[in-house]
Structure 1
Amino acid sequence: MAPLAPPVAAIRVAVRRALADLPTDGPVLVACSGGADSLALAAATAFVAPRAGRTAGLVTVDHGLQSGSGQRAEAVARWAQGAGLAPVETVRVEVAGRPGGPEAAARDARYQALAEVAGRYGAAALLTGHTRDDQAETVLLALARGAGPRGLAGMPARRDLAGTPLVRPLLEIGRAETRAACVALGLPTWEDPHNSDPAYARSRVRADVLPVLVSALGPGVLDNLARTATLVAADNAVLDELADAALGQARHPDGGLATGALADLAPAVRGRVLRAWAHELGASPAALSHRHVAALDALVTAWRGQRASYLPGGLRVLRRADRLVSELPPATPNGRAPGG
């Protein structure tokens, strides 16, 4: 028997660890585009899952953005069936007309489709092939955008997706390893042209920025960026716990927040309390920015009788005596709410 290629072994170990922490009911589904990262993950899951007494399937999403995308999705599905994965589903989504840029719209459509399939099968988890390199790119993009600790935490190894755990087993595996694993296993991989399209910021980071950093600082920079995300995520978890408790203590019987309780909080905790409260009020997490939270904070820490602050969706928050309250804004002559 030929020795097992180290990258194949490393990916199988990562998958085995991820599966060990999951509920035992329902299949594990791999989201697979046919690229090296997700294909290496799918192959490892097809090997590991049955030996762990689990059912594993695959979902491939056809965004319909390129010629031949439907045939490519069907080819991925055929490979999955031949590898013993079941259930296997191909889902076509519509990207056009969704909010945000093309990258965000495609991501939104993809995750919505994945969540629907996972829910239908009662999946124990949905696995995605994001790697250490993806994590490093995410951290750099967050730095460039001034995203703060939440952005610097990168992609979590596990999060909830409409009631299904979304798990990323390969965040400590490099992209070079997934490609080497596919070569060792003879897997037919596909390169998404969007990944090298300079129109996308992530593609420019991948093609231009990371190679310069590696050249200047050494290959360890990728591990260090990914480690930064892990460390910041741990700090975020503690701050979020403090903010949850502080939000409960600051609540006023009328549904508002007591400004005195807020003023006594550390700025890092107060900002999280205000952000969480804005989410409760209905402000979209994607649209809620630092500017909105800073305006709410000014109602607490720099109160000079200023007018209401508006949140995404036209919600407005104002200060009344010793508390922050929210209310729907009055309609303007054209029938629409101001702000947002």
Structure 2
Amino acid sequence: MADDGKTRAATIFDVARLAGVSHQTVSRVLNDLPNVRASTRERVEKAIAQLRYTPSQAARALVTRRSRTIGLIQTGGPDYGPATTLLHFNEAAREARYAVSIASMLEADAAALRSAAELLLRQNVEAIVLIAATVKDIASLAHEELGVPLVVVAPHEEGNAATVAIDHYAGARAAVAHLAELGHTEIRHVAGPEESLDARERMRGWRDELSARGLVATAVLSGDWSPSSGYEHGRTLGASTATAAFVANDQMSLGVFHGLRDMGLTVPHDFSVVGYDDIPEAAHLSPPLTTMRQDFVRLGGDVMAAVLAQLSDDAVAPQSAIVPQLIVRDSAAKARRP
């Protein structure tokens, strides 16, 4: 029932939920298409009768025409990495002569993600791309039966989704290796949010690189990607015995610079910092920031290639994750000996 007491007309998605199938399967039954099991067809027909569903012309067209439109769902704030990935995916889609319909949300639960997916499916998108802020966002949608291909920007396979990723684990190891080769033996980590899959991979890379070199991984300083959280952790680092830090993004690195300065330390004379992302401002900080550059142009192209591979047997899916590049500037220097 609707909030005003009036009965809401059933949709194709209501039928799909009641029958326990995808909306595409409902469309096949409505259009009397083959490749539907008799038992499944019967469940769908019973759900249609129970809900008194009357199909619209748009519903009948869901499996009979192509829209050349891709749906994209993005969760989380306008952080540099996800926002830039979205931008370059849009460019790659345009070059492939596809339009992109976008649904963005700061915070999302399973119901909100499902609602966003249904909104895009009503527009007859041929596939959905998910750029998600958290592990739970990915899991909640990747285990849904959407009826169209789902491509997720994530480092691990999840549910029914195809995945495309930047290798944050390898990037983190390269960042820590650079600091270790400069002679630093106590290298702290300012991490991103615990629920972020990218942040987890960067933390894992930091731990494993230290372990491989016989160095101890001390307590992680957990941030939220913002300069303000970096500032608080910069003050903590300034009061510690550490001489270097690998920071999980450049925005927090900016705050770390500020916090260290307020504690009377200079970068890199007293303390070395390596960031992650290579935001446009990184080269113009004081000192210019050594950081890990992500190839977002290639990532956008790889995501579109994965979409096309899901839609056509002739397309080639990307084979490996993209490894970030170390950009050496002036924020990391040789460790000072006592």
Tell me if both proteins adopt one fold, taking TM over 0.5 as the criterion: no
Category of TM-score, reference length = shorter chain? under 0.3
Asked which structure has the greater CA Rg, the reply is: 2
When normalised by structure 2's length, the TM-score is 0.25
When normalised by structure 1's length, the TM-score is 0.25
